[in-house]
Structure formats: structure tokens, C-alpha cells
A and B are shown apart, each in its own frame.
Chain A
Amino acid sequence: MQSGTFHSSYSSDMGLRPYWPMRLRIILVIVIMLVFPWFAGRYWLNLANTIGIAAISAIGLNILVGYTGQISIGQGGFMAVGAYTSGLLAANAGLPMWVSVPIACVVTAVVGALFGMPSVRLKGLYLAIATLAAQEIIIWVLTHGKILGIGESLSLPPETSNLFGLSLAGSTDFNFYWLIMGCLVLTVIFVSNLFRSRAGRAMVAIRDQDIAAQVIGVDLFRYKLLAFATSSFFAGLAGALTAHYRGIISWERFTIETSILVLAMIIIGGLGSVSGAIYGATFMTLLPALLSNVSRAASGVFPSFSSYLPYIQQGAFGLAIVLFLIFEPEGIVKMWRNVKDYFRLWPFSY
């Protein structure tokens, strides 16, 4: 029960997880994360890694869309900047990933801030179109990027996938699991902290009421650019991790479809919530996997089912978004909150 908890210092009152059920749940999640890879096969490890990368990207986009209220459909493009920066540094300069990935994040943050400039004047749909332009410009540069020395695809030398000399090659899925989950945990902690402190509050203030935000002293331009930069930083991280994990990258992985997929993740998961972004990333990654498993199981009965699979997957995405918008516009995070509220008063809930 939440009642009966008395905080005797502001530090504990302002904690991220001030009540013991919250702490218990997070310990449980960490234990599962630690145990999972020892029992999971390559298929499930690959899924977990995909979810982890998608979650980092979705948390990044949520900073911009969910918390700051600036609609962006350029996340795929920003992920591409991260992937290619890290990839080119690895392929051409032979830099190890613990050097190239942080550089890629910073470069993406700068690119994101540049493309965030129109947000000073544009809001809502108009800003969305401006970020769409960012997406297309980035992909155009990559497909016409002879100057950068990019072909159709870019292979990363496996020996650059090392952390301080510790090679991640070999059983790639297992090794990358630890790296990706480590990055995800750090991302979660950083972003949760950000939104309980000054800069994050200023961003939420811009979303809720931008005129009032100005009048209490929030510099709109500065904080919108900071939101773009921070959001892109994590897009860059997700992109760079993708590049090293897959070992080969091509621009096709980062088209507008990716941007919309990440946007769908945060809408389904819950706008303006770190855990929502993770739920959304999990849902949107598991849904097609689940459908292809179902189709494989059903292929004995309906042999033609698997040939329709891509269409069914596309349709399922659309259906999922529509159903969420109708029945739970606040996303999975709200459904989870309802469950918690029910059990908060259990067994006296009614």
C-alpha cells in the first residue's frame, strides 16, 4: 500500500521510485534481464536485442514528441546519421566501437539540433513536415553519398566491435545483449532523471503551455533545440548500436517507415513516459514475430497463409494503432497503471 509511507527528507520524497512495490518490481525486472540470456536461444536473444535498440530509439523520440510536444517523423534519419557516422569511423579509420559510438551520438545530436531549428517558428503538423524533410534529406545524402565513400551498403570490420579491447565478435547475440541492455538501462536512468529536474521540466512546460513557459523564464528556442539534440543523441546511439550489431548497414534500414514505426511505438506505449516507450518497442517488435510464428504453425492447415504474411503484418500494425487510439489513447502504460490501481486496493477493490 502506498499510504503509511512517510518521507523525512526531500531527497527521498523526490526519489524516482519512492514506494517499496515499485522497488520490488524493478528488482524483479533486473533479475529477469540478468537470467534471460543464459536460457534463451539465438532467436530470442536477437529479438531481445532488437527490442533493446528500438526501446532506446523510442525513448529518444519520446523526449521530443511525448515530453516536449514537438512532433517529429525524422527519427529514422537521425538513426541513420548515428549508424553511418559510427560505421564510417569503424570501416575507414578502424576506430573501435567504444570510440566511434560516442562520437556518433554527439554528431547525431548536433545534426538533430540543426534540423530542429525550424521548430522555433513551426508547430504541430508544419513541424512534422519539416522533420519529414530532414528524414528525406538525410536519406538522399546517403544514397548519393559517393563523396562520403558510401556504396549500397557498408560493412563494418568485426574487430572494431570491441569494448576496451574486449571483443564482442564470436557469439555476437549473447555479447551484444549485455551491451545493448547496459545502454538501455543507462538511457532509462538518464531520461527519468532528466524529467524530474530543471531542464526536463522546462521541456514539459513547453509542451503544456508555451506562453506561460516563456513568461516564467524558459527560453523556448534553447529548450526546443536541447530537446531535439537530446532526442537525436539517443537516436544516434540506437543507430550506431544497430550498425555494430548487424555488422552491415544500408540506408534501407532507416527510411520513413522506421520513423513512423518508432512514432507508433510511443503512441501505443504511451506518450511522455519512459516505460511507455519500452512497452511500445516491445509490442511493435513482438507483434510481427508472433504473427510469423502463428503463420508457420498454421502453414499445415492453410499452406497459402505464409505468402500473405507481409500483408497481414502490415495490416496488424495499422489495426493495432487504430485499436489503441480508440480504446486506450494513453497507451500500454495506462493499461498497466489501471492494473496497478486495481491491486492497490485489493482485495477491497470494486
Chain B
Amino acid sequence: MAGDNGVPMPAAQMQIDSVGLSFGGVRALSGISFNVYPGTIQAIIGPNGAGKTSLLNCISGLYKPQQGQIRFEGRNLIGLAPHEIARLGVARSFQNIELFRHMTVVENLMLGRHVHMRGGVISGGLYWGAGKREEIVHREFVEQVIDLLEIQDIRKKTVGSLSYGLQKRVELGRALAMDPRLLLLDEPMAGMNSEEKEDMARFILDISEEQRTTIVLIEHDMGVVMDISDNVAVLEFGQLIAYGTPDEVKAHPDVIAAYLGHQHAAH
């Protein structure tokens, strides 16, 4: 981490500040605070039910936390509708693939361009002049994403007919088509074989390095997490139990306890 060796800490791109969320009597998140720095890959790990996806849902506006603030580039996201948060440059993928199944790959990615386009019902229906040019300009952008993710051969296929691994990749593509400043990935490698995982890790690193997109990543595969992330936040029972570089987190006694049980931690 930058602060350690005297280099000034960069300003946080997103500040999660004592976020608390409960459903009725169940507390899903309590007092979560950490910063996400621009251009980094921030992993969130933790056992099942720790509140990782709930935290992501708070960031993208699907859940409204009762306490705390989430400031993205200085703006509090809490209280904004999901589509308004998307417009600020936050994109995400889902744990269970949430693609538009009856549309083609290109159409799914074109939907990722929605926030950058302006055409309405009338300009779309006429499909003439500026309305048509806009579609073509954004199609060119979508083709760049298709090239990056190496899905040229399936661009006209209906998404519902694709394999699981490809669907995951298309979902990443749809988020990328938004040209986001913050990319939230909820278990992008779940259920993949090791080859598919390698591909996905490569794409995530490409995105991080070439486009300097900040990435927040939930993942269960510890090998991947420790390899590619800059910072790791560990959640357990809705609380942040550790935060730091992969090496710091790996050595943290609470993390070892959470993953391996208390006896191991004592040794």
C-alpha cells in the first residue's frame, strides 16, 4: 500500500463510512468503513453470508443502508436510484448472471452504452440522421469491448444459448461497455474451471492496467484474490474484521480464525 513507505496516500475514490444495513431484525452489515483507491483492485472476501453482496448492493443502490455514507468521488450514493448511480460511472456484474437472455451479445453490450447515449423513442423510431449515427458510433465502442474479451465469434448469438463461462464474460463486457470509473464484480469466477478462471483473471488485470478502472471484486478463490488484488477487505457476520494488502490480511489472526477456526489461530 502506498502510505507505508512515506509516499503520500492518494485520495480515496470511494469512501465507505460506517455503513449499517438491517432487514427487519437481521443485521446484514454493521459499521463497515474502508476506502477504495483509484486504479486499484480491491477485493472483498469472507465466508458465505458475511454480507459481501449486500455491501455491493448498497453501493449500486439496490439496498438502502440505514446508517452511514458511501461517497463516490465526493458524492453520497445513498438515496440515489440505481440508474442515477450508473450514470455516475459505477458498473457491476452479478453473482447469478443477470443478462438480458433473449437479446444477442451485441444488444446486451449496446445496453451497456445506454447511459452514454441520448436517443429517445422518436429518434429511435425514425432511425435517421443523428439517431442512426449515434447507434453506429456506440457500436464501434462495443466492438472494442468485444475484441478485448475475445468474443467476436458469438457477437450475434442469443445470450441465453451461451455456455455459463461465456455468459459470465458477456456480463463483464456489458459492465465494461459502460466505460465505468468503478467496476463492481460479484464472484466473476464462480463455477468456472481453471482455464476459464485464468482467462477471467487476465481480463480483469487488462482492464485494471490498460483502462485504469478501479475494480471492487468479490471472490472466493483465495489464490486468485491474493494474486491480483492490491487491497483486501475481509467481512465476517456483517463486520469488517481485517483490511490491508494481501500479505497483511493473510497473516491477520482474525482472518485465520474466520477461515480455519479458532484452534488454528491459537497456534
Contact = CB atoms under 8 A, between A and B. Distances in A.
A217 B83 contact: yes
Interface in B98-116: 98-103, 107, 110-115
B83 A190 contact: no
A202 B135 contact: no
A295 interface: no
A125 interface: no
A202 to B, nearest CB: 6
Interface in A197-212: 197-202, 204-205, 208-209, 211-212
B172 interface: no
B66 interface: no
B121 interface: yes
Nearest to A197: B124
Interface stretch (B85-93, B192-200, B219-227, B237-245): B85-93
Nearest to B115: A217
Contacts of B111: 201-202, 205, 213, 216, 218
A14 B135 contact: yes
Interface stretch (B17-25, B41-49, B126-134): B126-134
Nearest to A230: B121
Contact of A212 (B94, B126, B132): B94
Interface size, B (range): 35 or more
B81 to A, nearest CB: 7
B166 interface: no
A280 B112 CA distance: 33
Given A193-B124, A197-B127, A216 B178 contact: yes
B103 A216 contact: no
A109 to B, nearest CB: 10
Given A199-B124, A208-B103, A216 B174 contact: yes
A10 interface: yes
A290 to B, nearest CB: 33
Contacts of B62: 211, 214-215
Given A197-B131, A216-B178, A209 B99 contact: yes
Contacts of A194: 121, 124-125
